[in-house]
Amino acid sequence: MTPERKIFRRIGPDLRREAMIAAMLAIIAEEGISAATIRAVAARAGVTPGLIGHYFDGKDALLSAAYAQHMSDLTRATCGQDAHTQGQSAAARLAEFIATGLRPPVASTQAVTLWAGFLTYVQQGGRMRDTHAATYAEFRDHLQGLIADALTEAGRPAATADLRRHAIACNAVIDGLWLEGGLLPEAFGADELTQIGLGSVGAMLGLDLTAAHEK
């Protein structure tokens, strides 16, 4: 009766890393970041705690990697819809961008919870702050491009300074609605945030995005 040792399989280093990141994200989303200990992540990933130290240079490195992954997922899910709206009008593309950001999986309690869990560490500088700044810039630049196209299409091209202000404002609306929807999901109707988002941004830009979105 020798103490039976765990039998294990080697999956590639990349897969192993991904599994650990996925485990960390799942735990943060479900139980909060304070529950995301090395041991808990290891157990969820079906692995021994020591192995995490083998793939990541300490817990902070795993946290950073998980944050980068999550933000990358969100950005890809939001900006990646451009492919589906290639032939349509600029207004329709902008409307679809907004709608995508305000409906699952982008807008969801889980996504907001994850983001919020990381936020504490973002503020303390280091890699996570850079990731945040880069993600924000990418998202807003993308939005600014869509706004520029839509205004040009409407025969009202705008100067760069105005475009910047519009992008900041539209981004704020989307962020705010995304946040509130994720924090208090039961406080809003199914389609409500999307409609409000389209209506608000439309009013700010002088475009009828609701009509553009329904086509």
Partner DNA sequence: GTAGTAATTATACAGTTGCACAATTAGCCA
Partner DNA sequence: TGGCTAATTGTGCAACTGTATAATTACTAC
Binding site for DNA (CB under 7 A): 3, 5-11, 13, 16, 35-40, 46-54, 58-60
Angle 192-205/160-183 helices, nearest 10 degrees?
160
Answer for the pair 139, 75: CB distance below 8 angstroms, yes or no.
yes
Question: Residue 213 corresponds to which tokens in the numbers above?
Answer: 């979105």
Q: What is the DSSP letter of 9?
A: -
Sequence-separated contacts (24+) of 123-127 with Cβ below 8 Å:
126/60, 126/64, 127/64
Q: Does 103 bind a copy of itself (CB under 8 A)?
A: no
Residues 114-173 that bind a copy of itself (CB under 8 A): 116-117, 119-124, 132-133, 136, 165, 168-169, 171-173
Nearest approach in angstroms of CB 161 to a copy of itself is 11
Nearest approach in angstroms of CB 150 to DNA is 46
Report how far residue 181's alpha carbon sits from residue 6's, in angstroms, rounded to the nearest whole number: 44
Q: Contacting a copy of itself (CB under 8 A), which of 49, 183, 191, 214?
A: 183
Residue 30 sits at φ, ψ, to 5 deg, of -90, -35
Nearest approach in angstroms of CB 7 to DNA is 4
Residue closer to DNA by CB (options 127, 164) is 127
Answer for the pair 183, 112: CB distance below 8 angstroms, yes or no.
yes
Region of 46-54, 91-99, 110-118, 142-150 interacting with a copy of itself (CB under 8 A): 110-118
Nearest approach in angstroms of CB 29 to DNA is 17
Report how far residue 23's alpha carbon sits from residue 196's, in angstroms, rounded to the nearest whole number: 35
Report how far residue 14's alpha carbon sits from residue 133's, in angstroms, rounded to the nearest whole number: 26
Q: Does 72 bind a copy of itself (CB under 8 A)?
A: no
- Name, in order, each residue with C-beta under 8 angstroms of 36's C-beta and a sequence gap of 6 or more: 24, 27, 28, 63, 117
- With CB under 8 A as the rule, give the number of residues binding a copy of itself: 43
Nearest approach in angstroms of CB 55 to DNA is 7
Site residues, a copy of itself (CB under 8 A): 31-34, 109, 113, 116-117, 119-124, 132-133, 136, 165, 168-169, 171-177, 179-180, 183-184, 187-188, 192-193, 195-197, 199-200, 203-204, 206
